[in-house]
Amino acid sequence: MEQESLKKEMKNRRLPLIPLRGLTVFPYMVLHFDVGRERSINALEEAMVNDQLIFLASQREAEVNLPNPEDFYQVGTISKIKQMLKLPGDTIRVLVEGINRARIKEIHQEEPYFMVEVEEENYETEITTDRDIEALMRSVLGSFEQYIEVSNKISPEILLTVSEIEMPGRMADTIAANINLKQSQKQEILEAFSPKERLETLYRILLEEIEILEIEQKINSRVKKQINKVQKEYYLREQLKAIQKELGEDEGIVEEVDEFKQKLQKIKFPKDIHEKVEREIDRLLKLSPSSAETGVIRNYIDWVLNLPWNKETKDKLDLKQSAEILNEDHYGLEKVKERILEYLAIRQLAKSMKGPILCLVGPPGVGKTSIAKSIARALNRKFVRMSLGGVRDEAEIRGHRRTYVGAIPGRIISSMRQVGTKNPVFLLDEIDKLASDFRGDPASALLEVLDPEQNADFTDHFLEMPFNLSKVMFVTTANSLDTIPRPLLDRMEVIRIAGYTEEEKLNIASKYLLPKQVKEHGLDEKTVKLSENTLRDIINYYTRESGVRNLERQIANICRKTAKKIIEDKVSVVRINPKTLKKYLGNPIYRYELINAKDEVGIVRGLAWTPVGGDTLSIEVTPMKGSGKLVLTGQLGDVMKESAKAGISYIRSRAEALKIDANFHTDLDIHIHIPEGAIPKDGPSAGIAMATAVISALTNVPVDKQVAMTGEITLRGRVLPIGGVKEKVLAAKRAGITKVLLPQDNEKDIEDIPENVRRKIQFFFVSHMDQVLGHALKRGENNEN
Ligand code: ADP
């Protein structure tokens, strides 16, 4: 405990007490309040016949009418009555000034008024020389200034008054009296007798309040922005209407109503809905054409009448032709096409589109959207796409109620209107990016959309009538399955589209993307010539992705520049080879780490999976004299760090067999670094690579530069299977690796790897670290360095 620098002295007094409701009086504060309760009036009278001093203590709960002693706080304020005014009824308005805080010691009587013995603590009121208090005063003053700024409710002049106060306790009381606080907070300040403690309490409360006010302000400005936008549009529309009225253009309302009614007749609604719409149409006649409501109703009718209630296209279910169309639009993807044809076959047999919903999962640009489009084409259905990325508000799916100014239906209904038939292929893009927050859960709304049991009468908040979505064929896409809400996932049939290999990309580029872009840029195939090697260079050095989206963009880039060249330079053929490529696309954007020049100690090539395909990781380890710290640097995630620790534990348990000094974990610091961390990596699959690098560094045995590896490690040195084998192997090949170590349990994944890649790489399937070390470490060869 610090020594309180101000001297204190105690003093007792006997005073009548008034319990206050919802008020706290601070010393130096002048305020008035009304007194009506009998005991309080008696107390007042008693005070007036004596020295006009009264003790004011706040009630814990304002509602209590006849408080007992335990209903008010023990600490209150001795106050001076300055004025009294009789009001109509039995109420008296009193003006008081707070004199000093005091604590109730004893209650002498409760009737006819409370008489209490209170104890004051008086502190020397001289100006302080205590540095701590001085500093506290400044901090409090600073935060009070900030509070005034954010709260916007207090006149800044108070700051001036407060800043002139030199007594610490008084400063705290004056500030407390002037800010908006909860009763409990005020009481807390009141109960701080020592000036220092009081300043500290106030300071903490001020900081909390500032934080809350700032958040409040942020929310306000966000809401205000939204409202401003809606209002602006609304006023503009109103103005437009006023102008139209001036120009006499609003007389057509009768014809408009007729037109609406004719349209309504054509749509065969059930009786109740027909009547509902008709009622709305009739209301148009009753309202002033320029009223805001007319606009709302007209908008509503317009939506209702223009939805495809009955319009549908006739399905074409011809599997042979469907297969042709899928092939026409896409290279490769054999398994995917097969699954889609099966799916269509089942639908054809069952003569319905009910059943699980297709979910195409894969990285961006692998053709998910374009496959969905092909399905639509194959079935002779129309196609509509809606992105769910970042949709966090249920109203985006299901619409806003009509009571909102500027309300419109949700995006499902909007898309249905846009596509114009009730049986389109409806692509829900990025279902894994669906968010949810306080505005409701869009996933559950979506579930209703996708559920064949419920979607026959999907009700949008705006339309307020069921719309039949049961004929829609929904197809969804996602980049990964992890973030798809479970109930949604359960409804879906997942088809995975992995990334493409360089060979596949090359084929897609030359057979699909290039011809397509050439045509779109008004060129023809004879005028642009791109050699195979040029395409390869574009794939490897100008894009890094699993799909072909950027590849297509780069090809479009080339086509654009070619078109310009043809016009400007009047040439008839443009040939682009790897050497001239730079002129079109600039310097290469990506480089790949190639295999090391020689076998090195403490450096191992790991293999990683990233959303844009595989990559190799060069893992470097350096042991240093130290105290057993494990230092990890590079862009590593938490799982990767855990996995490094597991590796170290394994090495410790096997130190002897590995010929490593048993004390390495107390005498050395081990630094593991993974350079080139453009893409953050995480996952357990670098486990064996990290362990191998550490063992190599500790035993001074070099690692075979031809080897790359991936696999999770357990504490006992077992090697567990990992994912993304295909991508990882492709990355290894690109780096020039010839030997790849994979977990035994991943042997089955080798089928997915294209034949030409398999031929160039030797695979070793391992189930234990001993085997890993056997393949990777070059024991006894050149470990003299
Ligand atoms: P996603 O929806 O998966 O992000 P897109 O369907 O938008 O990808 O595909 C991007 C582009 O690549 C489209 O122009 C598409 O036609 C083309 N594309 C993707 N895969 C193939 C393929 N296998 N064959 C031909 N073109 C493809």
233 has a pLDDT exceeding 80: no
Q: How far does residue 761's CA lie from ligand 1's centre (Å)?
A: 29
The C-alpha atoms of residue 323 and residue 111 are separated, in whole angstroms, by 97
pLDDT at 691: 95
Q: Which of 385, 353, 363 is nearest to 372 (CA)?
A: 385
- Convert the pLDDT of each residue in 519-553 to its tens digit: 998 888 888 888 888 998 898 889 888 889 999 99
pLDDT at 128: 65
Enter the tokens of residue 779: 């024991």
614 has a pLDDT exceeding 90: no
Check if 368 has its Cβ closer than 6 Å to any atom of ligand 1.
yes
Asked if 709 and 607 touch (Cβ cutoff 8 Å), the reply is yes
Check if 370 has its Cβ closer than 6 Å to any atom of ligand 1.
yes
pLDDT higher for 609 or 373?
Answer: 373
502 has a pLDDT exceeding 70: yes
Check if 547 has its Cβ closer than 6 Å to any atom of ligand 1.
yes
Beta strands 528-530; 630-634: pairing state: unpaired
Nearest residue (CA) to ligand 1, atom 19: 367
Q: How far does residue 371's CA lie from ligand 1's centre (Å)?
A: 8
Among 361, 366, 477, 504, the mutation site with the greatest number of ligand 1 atoms within 8 A of its Cβ is: 366
Q: How far does residue 369's CA lie from ligand 1's centre (Å)?
A: 7
Axis-axis angle for helices 195-246, 168-178 (nearest 10): 30
Q: What sign does the CA torsion over 63, 69, 70, 75 have?
A: positive
Confidence of residue 737 (pLDDT cuts 50, 70, 90): very high
Helix (H, G, I), strand (E, B) or coil at 270: coil
Instruction: Give the single-character DSSP code of 109.
Output: E
Residues 184-204 have a mean pLDDT of: 91
Check if 552 has its Cβ closer than 6 Å to any atom of ligand 1.
yes
Confidence of residue 783 (pLDDT cuts 50, 70, 90): very low
89 has a pLDDT exceeding 90: no
Active site residues: 685, 728
711 has a pLDDT exceeding 60: yes
Check if 26 has its Cβ closer than 6 Å to any atom of ligand 1.
no
* Lowest pLDDT segment from 160-164, 342-346, 435-439, 604-608: 435-439
pLDDT at 239: 73
Read off the pTM: 0.56
Confidence of residue 2 (pLDDT cuts 50, 70, 90): very low
pLDDT at 438: 61
pLDDT at 181: 87
Check if 364 has its Cβ closer than 6 Å to any atom of ligand 1.
yes
pLDDT at 80: 92
Check if 366 has its Cβ closer than 6 Å to any atom of ligand 1.
yes
447 has a pLDDT exceeding 60: yes
pLDDT at 1: 39
pLDDT at 352: 66
235 burial (CB, 10 Å; 0-12 / 13-18 / 19+) is: exposed
Enter the tokens of residue 291: 């009223």
* Lowest pLDDT segment from 70-79, 147-156, 225-234, 332-341: 225-234
Q: Ligand 1: which atom is nearest the Cα of residue 548? A: 12
* Lowest pLDDT segment from 171-180, 254-263, 384-393, 728-737: 254-263
Confidence of residue 3 (pLDDT cuts 50, 70, 90): very low
Residues 297-321 have a mean pLDDT of: 88
Q: Ligand 1: which atom is nearest the Cα of residue 497? A: 3
Q: How far does residue 156's CA lie from ligand 1's centre (Å)?
A: 62
Q: How far does residue 503's CA lie from ligand 1's centre (Å)?
A: 16
- Convert the pLDDT of each residue in 561-587 to its tens digit: 998 888 888 888 888 888 888 888 888
pLDDT at 166: 85
Instruction: Give the single-character DSSP code of 181.
Output: -
Confidence of residue 244 (pLDDT cuts 50, 70, 90): low
The C-alpha atoms of residue 442 and residue 447 are separated, in whole angstroms, by 9
Buried b / exposed e over 454-488, threshold 16 CB at 10 Å, is ebeebebbbbebebbbbbbbbbbbbbeeeebbeeb
Residues 233-243 have a mean pLDDT of: 71
The C-alpha atoms of residue 75 and residue 77 are separated, in whole angstroms, by 7
623 burial (CB, 10 Å; 0-12 / 13-18 / 19+) is: middle
436 has a pLDDT exceeding 70: no
pLDDT at 483: 82
Q: How far does residue 79's CA lie from ligand 1's centre (Å)?
A: 81
What is the share, in percent, of the chain residues with pLDDT greater than 70?
93
What is the share, in percent, of the chain residues with pLDDT greater than 90?
37
429 has a pLDDT exceeding 50: yes
Q: Ligand 1: which atom is nearest the Cα of residue 549? A: 10
pLDDT at 784: 44
